A = this chain, B = another copy of it.
Amino acid sequence: MTTSPRQRLSPDTRREQLLDLGVRLFATRTLDEINIDLLAEEAGISRGLLYHYFGNKQDFHEAVVRRAIQDLIEVTGPVDEDDLMTRMMISLRNYVDYVTANHTAYVSIVRAASSGNETMHAIYHDALTALIDRIWESSTPEELAAAGIPDTPAIRLLARGWAALTEYVVLAWIEDDRGMSQDELIGNLALALAGIASAVRGGTSD
């Protein structure tokens, strides 16, 4: 171990700062529109140094998408509320706010995940799974039973399908709100999940 004569940011911290900037640039741009050159210009440092931190363009894009998804998972994280439905409504509101504020980037991630790039698909799919499986992981069995969302393979699969529904509906609502307020949108999405769980629970024997 050596001690540096003056305080310097560790390479990891510096990389994190640059990644933060990359994610901020990404919010209003597509993946194709952000690259090492743009980041170098905005950060005022050399392209060479950025390639040192991020490798090639593909690695840089993956790092930015991982960070953006990590932000999404954090802002929609479980809050300290007793009621499962209240927690879900707050998470949904934070999701809608995030997708609205980062619309271009979000659409770009969805496209990258669907385009046949296996790494992007895996990052996106893991995030979707994590976001939804959190419903069961952050709740007690009693709460889940009371909310009518027991843990069965069928309901877990349908809940992931509900995440696809939610993504579709929120993106369509941002384009044309059809006279629905954000409160109505969020209420409808939460009710849809409850309706799905209730219908499936009543309709199968497992």
Contacts and interface: CB of A to CB of B under 8 A. Distances in A.
A196 interface: yes
Contact of A161 (B154, B166, B203, B204): B166
B169 A153 contact: no
B203 A199 contact: no
A58 to B, nearest CB: 16
Contact of A203 (B158, B179, B188): B188
Contacts of A160: 168-169, 172
A5 interface: no
Nearest to A205: B184
A164 to B, nearest CB: 4
A167 B169 contact: no
Contacts of A145: none
A157 B184 contact: no
A55 interface: no
Given A164-B165, A165-B158, A200 B188 contact: yes
B204 A199 contact: no
A111 interface: yes
Given A157-B169, A158-B169, 13 more contacts: A114-B114, A115-B116, A157-B173, A158-B192, A161-B172, A164-B168, A188-B203, A191-B203, A192-B195, A192-B196, A192-B199, A195-B200, A198-B199
29 contacts: A110-B114, A111-B114, A111-B116, A113-B114, A114-B115, A115-B116, A153-B178, A153-B180, A154-B184, A158-B169, A158-B188, A158-B192, A160-B168, A160-B169, A160-B172, A161-B164, A161-B165, A161-B166, A161-B168, A161-B172, A164-B164, A164-B168, A184-B204, A188-B199, A188-B203, A192-B195, A192-B196, A192-B199, A195-B200
